[in-house]
């Protein structure tokens, strides 16, 4: 299971438990000279990258025969490996004790035929016994079943699905839902597409008011708003449009705003390993506007602060001032 897929299935509380950002520099050693106080402090922080930590752990002889560990179970912390050189501080995700994305240096699970009786695969949602690796069908292949479901829904509402205005509604609604949730087909690696650049820049980068549309997973109605992202680079910067595309990956899914905010912050951290990431999301939820309390002017604001933005009040204040400025 890819890192992005695991990330999409974790709740906000599970993401919070999986984040260990103690390797970021603490507030008492920060100064405006970030080049000396932030990016270089990782050499004494006693932390290592996910790949380094995974290599220090014993690997099972036959990974295919071991039961899969649920994504929400957090692996126990491993002893820190002293870092050397000018290694950038990184956000460590404790996800099953292994690196979220293999870079080719880690042993891979043998591509052997699997069935629903193979240990660890009893709960697989999609399984093709004759394939080497089980994969879900393409999303377009789901359209007929989804259209039939919408047709049943129309009938359940007391409508006539065969009347002129509704004949093609089930198919249109199914295609619309696939578009609303197209983020399930996207991964962080595909979206970045190599747009990570080496650059000697250590000052704050902020992209604000990124439009966001998502679907509330509790009521299947939209919520929308804007996202502001800031990060402090450590010799690597990200193409500006990629920040907006990261928002699209996670917003175009069934979501809750709290989890969406944290997923964006973690994804930016995975992309460029900055000294810190800050994300603020302001949303209007139609489940509060069209139904329930029906408060049409209410807005929900959530934030995630990682690294320097969490530890240093001045850095956090600078970001919030930039976000709130007109």
Q: What is the pLDDT of residues 283-313, one digit of tens each?
A: 999 999 998 888 888 999 999 999 999 999 9
Integer Cα distance of 228 and 251 in angstroms: 13
Tell which residue, 23, 3, 24, has the closest CA to residue 15.
3
Angle between helices 169-180 and 143-156 (to 10 degrees): 120
- Residues annotated as catalytic are 216-219, 257, 285, 287
Quickly list H helices, 84-195.
Answer: 143-156, 169-180, 188-192
Average pLDDT of span 250-269:
95
Find tokens 């969406």 and name the residue. Answer: 260
Domains of the chain: 139-184 (1.10.286.10), 193-324 (3.30.1130.10)
What is the structure's pLDDT at 159?
96
Higher pLDDT pick, 210 / 184? 210
**pLDDT tens-digit profile of 250-259?**
999 999 999 9
What is the structure's pLDDT at 302?
97
Lookup: tokens for 271: 């992309």
Higher pLDDT pick, 54 / 183? 183
Angle at 74 between CA 68 and CA 137, to 5 degrees: 40
User: Is-above-0.85 flag for pTM?
Assistant: no
Higher pLDDT pick, 4 / 259? 259
Sheet holding 276-285, edge to edge: 254-255, 205-216, 222-232, 276-285, 300-307
Higher pLDDT pick, 290 / 80? 290
Higher pLDDT pick, 271 / 30? 271
Q: Percent of the chain scored above 90 by pLDDT?
A: 48
The b-or-e profile of 156-183 (16+ CB within 10 A means b, else e) is eeeeeeeeeebeebbbebbeebbebbeb
């Amino acid at each position: 299971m890819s890192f992005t897929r695991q990330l999409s299935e974790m709740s906000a509380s599970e993401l919070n438990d999986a984040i260990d950002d103690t390797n970021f520099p603490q507030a008492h050693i920060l100064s405006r000279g970030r080049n000396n106080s932030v990016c270089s402090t990782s050499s004494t922080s006693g932390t290592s990258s996910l790949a380094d930590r995974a290599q220090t752990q014993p690997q099972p002889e036959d990974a295919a025969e071991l039961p899969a560990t649920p994504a929400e179970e957090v692996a126990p912390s491993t002893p820190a490996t002293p870092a050397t050189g000018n290694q950038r501080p990184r956000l460590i995700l404790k996800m099953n004790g292994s690196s979220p994305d293999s870079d080719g240096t880690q042993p891979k699970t043998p591509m052997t035929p699997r069935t629903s009786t193979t240990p660890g695969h009893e709960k697989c949602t999609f399984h093709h016994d004759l394939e080497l690796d089980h994969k879900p069908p393409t999303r377009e292949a789901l359209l007929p079943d989804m259209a039939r479901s919408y047709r049943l829904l129309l009938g359940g509402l007391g409508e006539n699905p065969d009347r002129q205005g509704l004949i093609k509604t089930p198919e249109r609604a199914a295609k619309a839902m696939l578009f609303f949730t197209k983020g399930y087909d996207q991964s962080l690696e595909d979206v970045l597409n190599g747009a990570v650049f080496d650059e000697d820049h250590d000052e704050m980068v902020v992209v604000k008011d990124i439009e966001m549309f998502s679907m509330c997973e509790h009521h299947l109605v939209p919520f929308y708003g804007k996202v502001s992202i800031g990060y402090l680079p450590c010799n690597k910067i990200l193409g500006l449009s990629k920040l907006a595309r990261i928002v699209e990956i996670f917003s175009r899914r069934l979501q809750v705003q709290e989890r969406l905010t944290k997923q964006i912050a973690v994804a930016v951290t995975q992309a460029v390993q900055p000294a810190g990431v800050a994300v603020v999301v302001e949303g209007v939820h139609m489940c509060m506007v069209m139904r329930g309390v029906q408060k049409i002017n209410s807005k929900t604001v959530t934030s995630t602060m990682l690294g320097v933005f969490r530890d240093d009040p001045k850095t956090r204040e600078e970001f919030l001032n930039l976000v709130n400025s007109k």
